[in-house]
Chain A
């Protein structure tokens, strides 16, 4: 029996297109797999096909997912697809396939005993947790021209999940959040709608001069950070549990002056 491997682009659109095409093949789902990019090692008795992303197909799958499983499951799937793990495409595909066969489609994510659904649940949780960490630990620095500028280095692609929070919180500020791993920027003009910009070299090279106030307030906060801790209760392990070390290099209070 031949197995089919659909090679898709690593994006929401790409993977949704893969799911659409997998259904078009009209073969049993357990013989179709979706993977991202080329495998290191090809399997025997397997057919590899490349599927470029298609806007219409992706939109159709997204519509079906929302209509059949509800907004919440759709959000969980989006989060899972923002994950850094390569097995996300296969997990989401099999989850959708399992979900469409269910009687109670709204409760799809409750079926944790299905390994694919559990995997989607796990990936979505990881992305959601990391997004929340960034909402907590992201730090803005004020540039000379008054723009607030933040740099993040997340494992999963969380940028689009965190910008709405800051756009709601700081409507009158011009701010930029820069994902330095993927080199994408989220731009928010004051009183305007935010948008994404894929990085170009010039922007990255631009030297950031910080404003007068920046030094003053970062020093004030760093001093506050140190005085607020109770020495008799010092607990380094607990601090590290709550605030993983990989976030600290982006945080004002841990940066060397």
Chain B
């Protein structure tokens, strides 16, 4: 009875209304990358992909808009407490048809608005049924419209593994959301989801990718399976896990499941529920930022989660980024001589990133580097100067002392959550809440 009612109302909705509802419902999914696969167009259709990915716009929240991020439907039978589309919420519901999705993707793509499609969905009837709907849309887009741009689809936990296998041959990236870092958290907030059901499609995709790589070695034209790899996302701040737990989970996912990316999503309180934390200070954005910083250290800087945090120090330093924090606790390895140290040692210096480290290695072949050269290369000397020497000399006479360096490293511009305990630098005014104003500014450009 209720189902019929929903179907009737969706049929009357215009494409504009549907896009509004289903993009609004999809926006809490973080992943929007279009990277990981480079593919030239074959001249018979539309589209190609760039390995580095392309962002096509940036929304008022500063997040990139790369893919047409939509749900197939938000008519969901699940009741996850953190989700805006939970069954018990009274929100407008809508469902696309496969043709509408193809039309939007192709027309947006031709105008260079987007880089491809990100298709997720609420669960209608069953996971397998939902997955079939997604498959139909993606299949049509790939074959009938000959779309060769980027497609990211969600693998729905609990769906038929064969369907996931077939979908993987059409999509560039697949992802299964871990939702919450621990099984207990998941049980509490998402009663219809199970950790096992989430990990098994993840494992299946991982094995599919490995197998496909072996096939491609033998048969060059074998169809590729999820060539841009898989990703996942975790909500941070909805359950009481520490940063250490989150980082350990992420490290495991990278090591054991070969994930391309783990996304962290600061919990945005959209529902009121006794099991959810109240967040008067807004989403824990600084915490999310620190987690991403640490994530980069794991993936590109050769750090391990154990080095950054431990059982006794389970959370990141609010005032310092994880790399500077690590360096201050390991002053015995500094200062590092730029003209002699190896790549991995240089990479661990605060203020030197992957690109600068590579340029240093390349540039010092043709002569000794000075601090001036480092500046040109792109090193942030303001941060690095406490930790490096050039030709045996430091930039200024500085003390290699934890307190002294900490005082100088703290970035005053970084937005710190002082207002949490009532301390804030903002001047009092009659109209205290400026967020509405900023929002309007950002939306109108």
6 contacts between A and B (CB under 8 A): A141-B111, A223-B19, A227-B23, A229-B61, A233-B283, A252-B111
Leading 9 A-B pairs by shortest Cβ distance: A238-B62, A229-B59, A110-B362, A235-B62, A236-B442, A233-B61, A229-B60, A243-B58, A242-B58
Query: Number of residues in A with C-beta < 8 Å to the partner?
Result: 58
Of the stretches A10-18, A49-57, A167-175, the one at the interface is A167-175
- With a cutoff of 8 Å between Cβ atoms, the chain A residues found around residue B62 in the complex are 233, 235-239, 241-242
Taking a contact as CB atoms under 8 Å apart, the answer to whether B373 and A112 are in contact is yes
Closest to A242 in B: B58
**A217 and B108 in contact, given A137-B56, A172-B46, A234-B439 (Cβ under 8 angstroms):** yes
Taking a contact as CB atoms under 8 Å apart, the answer to whether B283 and A171 are in contact is no
Taking a contact as CB atoms under 8 Å apart, the answer to whether B55 and A136 are in contact is yes
Q: Which of B44-75 contact A (CB under 8 A)?
A: 44-48, 50, 54-65, 68-69
CA distance A140 to B65 in the complex (A): 17
Binary A-proximity of B343-363 (CB < 8 A = 1, otherwise 0):
000000000000000010011
Contact of B365 among A107, A170, A219, A231 (CB under 8 A): A107
Q: Other CB < 8 Å A-B pairs besides A142-B110, A171-B41, A172-B44, 14 of them?
A: A107-B365, A111-B366, A135-B54, A142-B111, A166-B112, A173-B110, A219-B16, A225-B59, A230-B27, A232-B268, A234-B438, A239-B59, A242-B62, A252-B113
Whether A221 sits at the interface, judged by CB under 8 Å, is: yes
CA distance A223 to B21 in the complex (A): 11
Closest to A251 in B: B57
Contact of B363 among A113, A135, A248, A252 (CB under 8 A): A113
CA distance A177 to B175 in the complex (A): 36
Closest to B103 in A: A217
Taking a contact as CB atoms under 8 Å apart, the answer to whether A236 and B20 are in contact is no
CA distance A219 to B373 in the complex (A): 49
**A110 and B366 in contact, given A150-B112, A170-B46 (Cβ under 8 angstroms):** yes
Taking a contact as CB atoms under 8 Å apart, the answer to whether A168 and B113 are in contact is no
Which of B43, B45, B47, B112: most chain A CB closer than 10 A? Answer: B112
Contact of A233 among B43, B285, B377 (CB under 8 A): B285
Q: Tell me how far the C-beta of B305 lies from the nearest C-beta in chain A, rounded to whole angstroms.
A: 26
- With a cutoff of 8 Å between Cβ atoms, the chain B residues found around residue A140 in the complex are 110-112
Q: Which of B406-445 contact A (CB under 8 A)?
A: 435, 438-439, 441-443, 445
Taking a contact as CB atoms under 8 Å apart, the answer to whether A168 and B40 are in contact is yes
Instruction: Enumerate chain B interface residues (CB-CB to A < 8 A).
Output: 15-16, 19-20, 23-24, 26-28, 40-41, 43-48, 50, 54-65, 68-69, 104, 107-108, 110-113, 149, 266, 268-269, 282-283, 285, 359, 362-363, 365-367, 369-370, 373, 376-377, 435, 438-439, 441-443, 445
Contact of B435 among A142, A234, A242 (CB under 8 A): A234
Contact of A234 among B20, B266, B373, B442 (CB under 8 A): B442
CA distance A252 to B56 in the complex (A): 11
CA distance A220 to B78 in the complex (A): 29
CA distance A126 to B5 in the complex (A): 57
**A139 and B113 in contact, given A110-B366, A227-B24 (Cβ under 8 angstroms):** yes
CA distance A165 to B52 in the complex (A): 13
Which of A141, A166, A213, A224: most chain B CB closer than 10 A? Answer: A224
Whether A182 sits at the interface, judged by CB under 8 Å, is: no
Taking a contact as CB atoms under 8 Å apart, the answer to whether A224 and B23 are in contact is yes
- With a cutoff of 8 Å between Cβ atoms, the chain B residues found around residue A165 in the complex are 50
Whether A148 sits at the interface, judged by CB under 8 Å, is: yes
Contact of A242 among B55, B268, B283, B359 (CB under 8 A): B55
Taking a contact as CB atoms under 8 Å apart, the answer to whether A169 and B45 are in contact is no
Whether A254 sits at the interface, judged by CB under 8 Å, is: yes
Taking a contact as CB atoms under 8 Å apart, the answer to whether B439 and A138 are in contact is no
Taking a contact as CB atoms under 8 Å apart, the answer to whether B55 and A110 are in contact is no
Contact of B107 among A213, A228, A231, A245 (CB under 8 A): A213
Whether A203 sits at the interface, judged by CB under 8 Å, is: no
CA distance A113 to B15 in the complex (A): 57
Whether A226 sits at the interface, judged by CB under 8 Å, is: yes
Q: Tell me how far the C-beta of B443 lies from the nearest C-beta in chain A, rounded to whole angstroms.
A: 6
Whether A253 sits at the interface, judged by CB under 8 Å, is: yes
- With a cutoff of 8 Å between Cβ atoms, the chain A residues found around residue B108 in the complex are 217, 220-221
Taking a contact as CB atoms under 8 Å apart, the answer to whether B57 and A243 are in contact is yes
Q: Which of A104-142 contact B (CB under 8 A)?
A: 104, 107, 110-113, 118, 135-142
Q: Which of A134-187 contact B (CB under 8 A)?
A: 135-142, 148, 150, 165-166, 168-173
CA distance A171 to B441 in the complex (A): 38
Contact of A228 among B43, B65, B365, B367 (CB under 8 A): B65
Closest to A141 in B: B111
- With a cutoff of 8 Å between Cβ atoms, the chain B residues found around residue A232 in the complex are 268-269, 282-283
Taking a contact as CB atoms under 8 Å apart, the answer to whether A112 and B359 are in contact is yes
CA distance A110 to B367 in the complex (A): 11
Closest to A214 in B: B111
Q: Tell me how far the C-beta of A125 lies from the nearest C-beta in chain B, rounded to whole angstroms.
A: 10
Contact of A248 among B48, B64, B269, B445 (CB under 8 A): B445
Taking a contact as CB atoms under 8 Å apart, the answer to whether A171 and B365 are in contact is no
**A230 and B363 in contact, given A139-B112, A139-B113, A239-B442 (Cβ under 8 angstroms):** no
CA distance A217 to B23 in the complex (A): 15
CA distance A148 to B40 in the complex (A): 21
Q: Tell me how far the C-beta of B213 lies from the nearest C-beta in chain A, rounded to whole angstroms.
A: 25
- With a cutoff of 8 Å between Cβ atoms, the chain A residues found around residue B55 in the complex are 136, 242
Q: Tell me how far the C-beta of A225 lies from the nearest C-beta in chain B, rounded to whole angstroms.
A: 6
Taking a contact as CB atoms under 8 Å apart, the answer to whether A230 and B365 are in contact is no
- With a cutoff of 8 Å between Cβ atoms, the chain A residues found around residue B15 in the complex are 220
Closest to A167 in B: B41
Contact of A253 among B28, B57, B107 (CB under 8 A): B57
CA distance A227 to B71 in the complex (A): 13
Closest to A226 in B: B443
Taking a contact as CB atoms under 8 Å apart, the answer to whether B19 and A231 are in contact is no
Taking a contact as CB atoms under 8 Å apart, the answer to whether A223 and B438 are in contact is no
- With a cutoff of 8 Å between Cβ atoms, the chain B residues found around residue A142 in the complex are 110-111
CA distance A165 to B54 in the complex (A): 12
Q: Tell me how far the C-beta of A103 lies from the nearest C-beta in chain B, rounded to whole angstroms.
A: 9
Taking a contact as CB atoms under 8 Å apart, the answer to whether B41 and A169 are in contact is yes
Q: Tell me how far the C-beta of B86 lies from the nearest C-beta in chain A, rounded to whole angstroms.
A: 18
**A225 and B65 in contact, given A148-B110, A245-B445 (Cβ under 8 angstroms):** yes
Q: Tell me how far the C-beta of A136 lies from the nearest C-beta in chain B, rounded to whole angstroms.
A: 5
Contact of A169 among B23, B46, B64, B435 (CB under 8 A): B46
